[in-house]
Amino acid sequence: MRVVIVGPGAMGCLFSALFTKKKQAEVWLLDNQPQRAKKINNQGIIVEGLGQTFNQKVNITSQIKDIPPSDLVILCVKSYDTESAIKKIKPLLSGDTNVLTLQNGLGNIEMIAEIVGKDKVLGGVTANGATLLGDGHIRFCGQGETVIGKVDGLLSVPMRGIREIFNKSGFSTRLSKDINGIIWSKLIINVGINALTALTRLTNGQLIESPGTREILSQAVTEAVKIAKKKRIKLIYDDPIQKVESVCKATASNLSSMLQDILNKKITEIDCINGAIVRQGKSLGIATPANLILTDLVKAIESVYLPKN
């Protein structure tokens, strides 16, 4: 199977390195920055953490023409880059190519389906934690489950092959007939963790050491759960707040992706996480004051360093 991973961020590098090291597929990493792609091509991907350190050479390019048509494309770009990324990789798609999104937040599946057709789209979430230390240099901070499925709930033979690649590469992976519930379950975890870490500069584990941050986490999660219940979405855990706190413990040393974005003065995914809860709340008549404040504060920080329109 030929797999193209789009985006050399923390998760894109992690999957590329482990898939290649375990020889489970012909892997290509697609970067939109030629200089960075050249650097990673020369140095390889450096992975440290969880008792291991290694340097893995990978196929990486910034040119679509370098990559043959592929069986699977995995999107690991930020949600605000979804549309441009999927348009760029269209030449790689054959009749049997699947496009898997392992991105944060809401709306990615719908946007991809509009461009490539819903039959090609797989949704997914991953609870693996990784921190980007530099170009092609990551720290593997925490292992967790990856879940993949289709919105229509159907399971296919290619999906079982994709699951096997992940599992044999060291990523515990299963298929689900209710990927919407899975995505919402991951969204609620991100709602509780990402913006709050971005604002406080705390690690995931430190969030639950302070009564103040623990209370804000609880409020944000409670608002999101109310919306999920209103939409009749079945979450995969019975106690959402306890679940978010357990994720904080399991990935205690991890810097959330949103905190990494703030530290690197990049645009965040706040609009598709806490901002999505605010929009959904407005449409359903559910108050979301904690998520509104978190969204506005993250946007205030962004406004300091992002270019003005």
Could you list the active site residues?
186
CB 210 within 8 A of CB 182: no
- Distance (Å, whole) CA 199 – CA 193: 10
- For 140, phi then psi, to 5°, come to -80, 105
Task: Describe the crossing of helices 211-230 and 240-250 by its angle, rounded to 10 degrees.
Answer: 130
The owner of tokens 């971005």 is 198
With vertex at residue 119, the alpha carbon angle to CA 113 and CA 121, rounded to the nearest 5 degrees, is 55
Contacts of 171 (CB under 8 A, 6+ apart): 15, 18, 126, 128, 143, 146
Strand order in the sheet with 59-61: 59-61, 26-30, 2-6, 70-75, 93-101, 121-126, 146-149, 173-176
What backbone torsions phi and psi does residue 226 show, to the nearest 5 degrees? -60, -40
Helix-then-strand count for the chain, H and E: 12, 12
Amino acid, res. 261:
D
Residue where the block lists tokens 């590329």: 16
